Structure formats: C-alpha cells, structure tokens
A and B are shown apart, each in its own frame.
Chain A
Amino acid sequence: AQTVTQSQPEMSVQEAETVTLSCTYDTSENNYYLFWYKQPPSRQMILVIRQEAYKQQNATENRFSVNFQKAAKSFSLKISDSQLGDTAMYFCAFNKPGSARQLTFGSGTQLTVLP
C-alpha cells in the first residue's frame, strides 16, 4: 500500500518570502501521479499543482513549483512571493495508476503567511 508523509505539521513564512513544504511517499509503482492540494480556512479543497512521475521536468504553476525527486520519493512544494491568501492547510497526495480509488493523502501542513 502507498503511504504519504508530511513531516511538518505547521510552518510559517513572512509575506513575499519563499517557503518549501516537504512530502515523501512510499510506493513500488514506477508510474504514478502526485498532487498538492490547498485547503484554506473556508475548507474548500483546491488543486494547486500536479506532477506525473514519468516526467523529469518539475511542474510549475505561477508562484507554485515542485521539486520532484523520484529516486528519493520526495515531492516538495515551493511557494514563491508568499501572499496572505496562501495561508491554508496543504496536502500532498499520491495517485496509483489504473485505480479509480485514486488519492492517498498526507496528514497536511498548516502554512501561515505572516504580514
């Protein structure tokens, strides 16, 4: 079974600075997909970024980028130029190929952006 670990329960960053959230996972699969979701205080889950394991290039979405290290089974999220609206719980998720069951979530990292 796949597991996803987020070792940082809470983090904080000053507005306009850069922060990196860590995520590691364990799987025997060679091809899979990884996601970062954001859950602000409103509780709505919002997709931030996704990475396909067979792609070596790290995914980027505006101020959000990932550092995907397949051999190390690491999938960190970097947020540049942090904004107050980035304050949220961030979840890393793993998707097993060929399974409608899909996502296995980590326990989350609560990020607070300080003014």
Chain B
Amino acid sequence: SQTIHQWPATLVQPVGSPLSLECTVEGTSNPNLYWYRQAAGRGLQLLFYSIGIDQISSEVPQNLSASRPQDRQFILSSKKLLLSDSGFYLCAWSAPGQVSNQPQHFGDGTRLSIL
C-alpha cells in the first residue's frame, strides 16, 4: 500500500533563516505531488504541484520554492523565511497522470512557526 511521510512535524525558525521540508511517498511510481499551506483557521492554499521529476508548477508568487530531485521526493525550501511563512504545511500525492477523479492523500503536516 502507498504511504506518505512528511517531516519534521514541528519546526520553529527565526526570521531570515533557511527552510527545508521534506516529503516522500512509498508504494507508487511517478505520483503527482503537492505542497499546500494552511493558515490558522483557514482552508488550504496550493503552493506547488509536480507531475514528474523537474516538472514543478508554482501557484502563487512567494518566498518559497519546491524541488523534486527524485520521483517520490518533494522538497519545500526557502532561503530566507518571513514571518508570513508561518503556518501548517501539507504534502499530498495522487495517482499519476491527469485523471481528476483520483483523490489526494495527505501527509501528517508540518507546523512551522517563525519567530
């Protein structure tokens, strides 16, 4: 069966520091991968999605970037964090291709606090 791992679960970082959040998927090949941010009490905002290695689409202009160095690895990064980057970050995967009836499966999330 497929599993998704996301870490760390909690992270406290000072303003201006770098960021690296990692997500890996097991049990499937060439999944679609996603990074979302959820502000407190709010819905999910799609940040990045990827349909393959080195194929990443950015949804909103921001201080963050994403990379997919391996088929089942998706990394969210920042060179210099801002206070506004605080939030709950969720990684998700779905079956490969663009068949839109496939649900997304989420990791457990990372709570990021910027001080």
Contact = CB atoms under 8 A, between A and B. Distances in A.
Interface of A: 32-33, 35, 42-47, 50, 52, 91, 95-103, 105-108
B106 A45 contact: yes
A103 B35 CA distance: 12
B59 to A, nearest CB: 8
B21 interface: no
Contacts of A98: 98, 100
A110 B2 CA distance: 29
Contacts of A95: 100-101
B100 A91 contact: no
Contact of A101 (B42, B57, B90): B57
B40 to A, nearest CB: 11
B42 A108 contact: yes
A45 B98 contact: no
Interface residues of B, number: 26
A96 to B, nearest CB: 6
A91 B32 contact: no
Interface of B: 32, 34, 42-44, 46, 49, 51, 57, 59, 88, 90, 92, 94, 97-98, 100-101, 103-109, 111
B20 to A, nearest CB: 20
B108 A43 contact: yes
A103 B109 contact: no
A50 B103 contact: yes
A33 B100 contact: yes
Contacts of A99: 98, 100
Contact of B43 (A42, A91, A101, A102): A91
Contact of A47 (B101, B103, B108, B109): B103
Contacts of B108: 42-44
